[in-house]
């Protein structure tokens, strides 16, 4: 699968690390063309491409948004996302970390779906700290969970399969409106990790038996 990751910070590079597993063609993209991040991954033996945003999106089957929530709206002016599976990894956290910018009646994912006309928006991977990727997706014998929500059932299934293949325990979280619950879960994880001192090697999990 051809995957374009927009954003080369810890989240974007971390996702590239686990998704570039030989079965996917991963392209990193940012304002500088993604070259620095691609070179750093290459030094670790991870093969990814680098590209400007527009051609990266055009060539991709799946586009992953690993940028701040506030930066997404401008992307509609840079590239055409119509028909693409777009994975929203953002969390609409306020600048002072006092809460979320949106919630209850909408979510970052739903607002992104409005902004990127014609895209098949999927919420996923937003509850995982960037630092988790460097130490792997298994906590002892338990894989990190990700919660996948989308209105398009085929897009949701495609991202679940992609995440599972990368090593996640991917959970079907239903329609995109459930991002209204997934995003606060990510904020709770931030509270545990930073405000309550548990660190960044933690991740939420939904248990069943």
pLDDT per residue as tens digits for the range 38-93: 899 989 889 999 999 999 999 999 999 999 999 998 899 999 999 999 999 999 99
Give the residue-averaged pLDDT of 99-119.
94
Rounded Cα–Cα distance for residues 130 and 147 (Å): 16
Structural domains in the chain plus CATH codes: 2-195 (3.40.50.720)
Strand, coil or helix: what is 134? helix
Average pLDDT over residues 169-176: 98
Q: Phi/psi class of residue 96: alpha, beta or left (left: φ > 0; alpha: ψ in -120 to 50)?
A: alpha
Averaged pLDDT for residues 141-164 = 97
**What's the CA gap between 146 and 138, in Å, rounded?**
12
Strands 120-123 and 145-150: what pairing?
antiparallel
Q: pLDDT band for 97, please (50, 70, 90 cuts).
A: confident
Structural contact between residues 121 and 149, judged by C-beta atoms closer than 8 angstroms: no
| In contact, 60 and 2? CB cutoff 8 Å | yes
pLDDT surpassing 80 at residue 158: yes
Pull the structure tokens for residue 42: 């290459």
How many Cβ atoms sit within 10 Å of the Cβ of residue 36? Answer: 14
The tokens describing 57, both together, are 């999106």
Q: What is the pLDDT of residue 128?
A: 98
Percent of the chain clearing pLDDT 70 (strictly above): 100
pLDDT digits (tens, 9 = 90+) for 10-42: 999 999 999 998 789 999 998 888 888 989 998
Provide the pLDDT for residue 209.
Answer: 86
Say which DSSP state 76 is in: G
- What are the phi and psi torsion angles at 32 (to 5°)? -100, 10
Please say whether the beta carbons of 91 and 70 come within 8 A: no
CA-to-CA distance for 23 and 29, rounded, in angstroms?
A: 19
């Amino acid at each position: 699968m051809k995957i374009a990751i927009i954003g080369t910070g810890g989240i974007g590079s971390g996702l590239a690390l686990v998704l570039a597993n030989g079965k996917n063609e991963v392209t990193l993209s940012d304002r500088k063309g993604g070259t620095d991040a691609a070179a750093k991954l290459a030094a670790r033996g991870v093969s990814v491409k680098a590209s400007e945003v527009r051609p990266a999106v055009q060539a991709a089957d799946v586009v992953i948004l690993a940028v701040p929530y506030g930066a997404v709206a401008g992307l509609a002016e840079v590239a055409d996302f119509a028909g693409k599976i777009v994975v929203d990894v953002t969390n609409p956290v306020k600048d002072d970390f006092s809460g979320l910018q949106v919630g209850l009646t909408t979510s970052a994912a739903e607002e992104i779906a409005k902004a990127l006309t014609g895209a098949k928006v999927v919420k996923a991977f937003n509850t995982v700290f960037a630092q988790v990727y460097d130490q792997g997706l298994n906590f002892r014998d338990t894989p990190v969970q990700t919660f996948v929500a989308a209105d398009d059932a085929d897009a949701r299934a495609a991202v679940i399969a992609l995440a599972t293949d990368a090593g996640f325990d991917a959970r079907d979280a239903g329609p995109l409106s459930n991002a209204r619950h997934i995003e606060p879960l990510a904020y709770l994880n931030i509270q545990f990790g930073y405000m309550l001192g548990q660190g960044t090697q933690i991740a939420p999990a939904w248990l069943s038996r």
